Amino acid sequence: MWQTTATAVRSGTEALLIDSPYFPDELEALPGLVAGAGFEPDGLLATHADFDHLLGRLAFPGLALGLGQATVERLHREPGAAQRDLRDHDAEFYVSRPSPLALGQVQGLPVPGRLELGDEELELHPAEGHTADGTAIFARTMGVLVVGDYLSDLEIPMISEGGSLGEYRSTLARLSPLVEAADVVVPGHGSPHDRDAALRLLDEDADYLDALERGDERPRLPSGRDTKAQRRIHAENLALIGSS
């Protein structure tokens, strides 16, 4: 469901985990899985404040969570929203958890900015438009770009409450040179892509935003994403654009 992604990055003995899976059994398996691959996270990062990206603490309860400043501000504007959304989705999908979500120690990070990781640095780039907040994390020396809810092979661009079409466009434009410099692009939902696949998704998403801006009721959706669920997201996008 959703095909959520979590990405571990490491330099020397220091490691960070970006975003999170959703299901309790995935979260329980995660520490062993990443340790088996040689990663022992010292901290957590999340690309934005949507609850499905904030669950790392359920797998690593002791670790602090680093968030872009806009994401910290959104959490303050919407106190308890992530916990509420998690409870609602759990109830809808009959998921029970051993413990509720507590975000614990949160550290705000300047975006754009850089974050030290071992001997290397992660680049933090603004990625707004899907929501009011968002950070793309680029481990340039590793060739890994983690974008959050953009460039998905499964999901069309989704403009949520607080997001905007104009900012979504700016984010795609900002991501373009980063994708060019990356080997692997990891979306929040779907599969990691190589550079060429990510560039194709970027073009498709820009075309989709054109159709959305025109108000097309039944635009051609990209192949692989022309589904009933994505048509529903399109209808929600149209409603949101119309009301803003």
CB-nearer residue toward Zn ion: 6 or 221: 6
Measure the CA–CA gap between 233 and 28, rounded to whole angstroms: 31
Residue 149 binds to Zn ion (criterion: CB under 5 A) = yes
- Report, in Å, the least distance between residue 233 CB and Zn ion: 12
**153 binding Zn ion? (CB under 5 A):** no
Using the minimum distance from each CB to Zn ion, give the nearer residue, 50 or 205: 50
> Token pair 């979590």 is at which residue?
6
Question: Least CB distance from residue 152 to Zn ion, whole Å?
Answer: 9
- Of 222, 221, 223, 175, the residue nearest 199 (C-alpha): 175
Least CB distance to Zn ion at residue 53 (A): 6
From the list 24-32, 43-51, 128-136, 204-212, the region that binds Zn ion by CB under 5 A is 43-51
Q: Do strands 106-109 and 65-68 pair parallel, antiparallel, or not at all (unpaired)?
A: parallel
Minimal distance, residue 12 CB to Zn ion, in Å = 30
Judge contact between 161 and 199, C-beta under 8 A: no
φ/ψ of residue 227, rounded to 5 = -125, 170
For position 188 contacting Zn ion by CB under 5 A, the verdict is yes
Nearest to 153 by CA among 227, 52, 241: 227
Q: Which residues bind Zn ion (CB under 5 A)?
A: 50, 52, 149, 188
